[in-house]
Amino acid sequence: MEFGPHLMLATLEGAVTAAILALTAMGLSVVFGVMRVVNVAHGEFYMLGAVIAWFVASTLGAHPAVGFVAALVIAPLLVGSLAALADVLILQRISYDPERTIVATIGLLYIIQQTTLMTFGPDARPVEAPFNSRIALPWFEFGDGGFALYWPWGLSITSYKLFVIAAAVVILAALWLLMTRTKAGLVMRATQQDSAMAQAFGIPVARVYALVFGLGAALAAMGAVLIVPIQQAHYLMGGDPLLLSFIVVIIGGLGSLPGTVIAAVLIGMSDGIISVFFSPTLAKILATLAVAMVLVFRPQGLMGKSAA
């Protein structure tokens, strides 16, 4: 394939990575932003979302689309409830003390991972995509006859991948509306600004925290349900999303939602493109290098405010 079409293909693959990453990192970012909690178990909520998606789809056994839609509703709800429960039973008990929270969420990581290994098993399992037609994409050339479109062999994407990108955009837009246009969003933002004053003004902060922790986990689970028809569900699949989410949240600026989206697009796209042209390992190396540079030269991140 020529360079142009090849780059377009890589960009589209990158956009899929970016879409999933934006959802997952957004979950981490919301939790950190509102609660100042660094959730090391975030990747495991992602993994659980994928495993539950497999379970729902394979149990229902109906048309793949039915199983998929059911998973898209059930997995985030279950994972979100589990996370909210973990918040009440664990994080609240240790008063969100930063060090203890990190240790506690590391513990949670292993509990979730090992419980999944014991029940779901060590095998990777596929979920069938609800639809998966191949769409050939056109490219252009300036030949003797002037500008012309043609369909290069191999330049194509599946309809499902386009759907993933669109779904992520819709979910992120809905989240943005929730945060900026609703009372629930106002409550979360007020709590983020000053939790003590939020409480002094009638906001049940403990309940808000449980909901936010659940929302963060649910976002990761949604990302996982979307990815699982492309990558199989596996009990160790939470590692990469956790690392990349941390990279995105640091580059974007801790707790900044627009920064998180921008950084997810940057990291996701470059990950996709570099993986296609070079290797996935190089992509991770460069992303980690980018974090190091950001930490050195702009510690508050792209969109974060400097700690005055």
Partner 1 sequence: MLEVQGIHAAYGRVRTLFGVSMTAKPGEITCLLGRNGAGKTTTLRAITGLLPVSEGTITLDGDDLTRLPAHRIAQKRVGYIPQGRRLFAELTVAENIEVGLMACGEGRETRDWVLSIFPRLRERLSQRAETLSGGEQQMLATARALCLRPRVLLLDEPTEGLQPSMIEEIRQVVLRMKAEGLIVVLVEQRMDAILSMADRAVFLDHGQSREAFIGNALRADPSILTRHLGV
* Binding stretches for partner 1 (CB under 8 A): 183, 186-187, 189-190, 193-194, 196-206
Instruction: Give least dist CB 108 to partner 1, A.
Output: 26
Instruction: Give least dist CB 104 to partner 1, A.
Output: 20
**Closer to partner 1 at the Cβ: 145 or 183?**
183
Instruction: Give least dist CB 174 to partner 1, A.
Output: 20
Cα 85 from Cα 163, distance rounded (Å): 32
**Closer to partner 1 at the Cβ: 6 or 100?**
100
Instruction: Give least dist CB 151 to partner 1, A.
Output: 50
Instruction: Give least dist CB 91 to partner 1, A.
Output: 17
**Closer to partner 1 at the Cβ: 179 or 226?**
179
**Closer to partner 1 at the Cβ: 169 or 200?**
200
Residue of 110, 80, 104, 91 whose CA lies nearest to 224? 80
Angle at CA 301, nearest 5°, toward 164 and 197? 95
Instruction: Give least dist CB 197 to partner 1, A.
Output: 5
Instruction: Look up residue 231 and give its DSSP letter.
Output: S
**Closer to partner 1 at the Cβ: 59 or 180?**
180
Cα 217 from Cα 289, distance rounded (Å): 27
Phi-psi region of 301 (alpha: psi -120 to 50; beta: other; left: phi over 0): left
Instruction: Please give the span between the terminal C-alpha atoms of the chain, in angstroms, as a whole number.
Output: 51
**Closer to partner 1 at the Cβ: 2 or 194?**
194
Neighbours of 17 (CB within 10 A): 24
Residue of 230, 113, 234, 214 whose CA lies nearest to 168? 230
Contact yes or no for 203/190 (Cβ under 8 A): yes
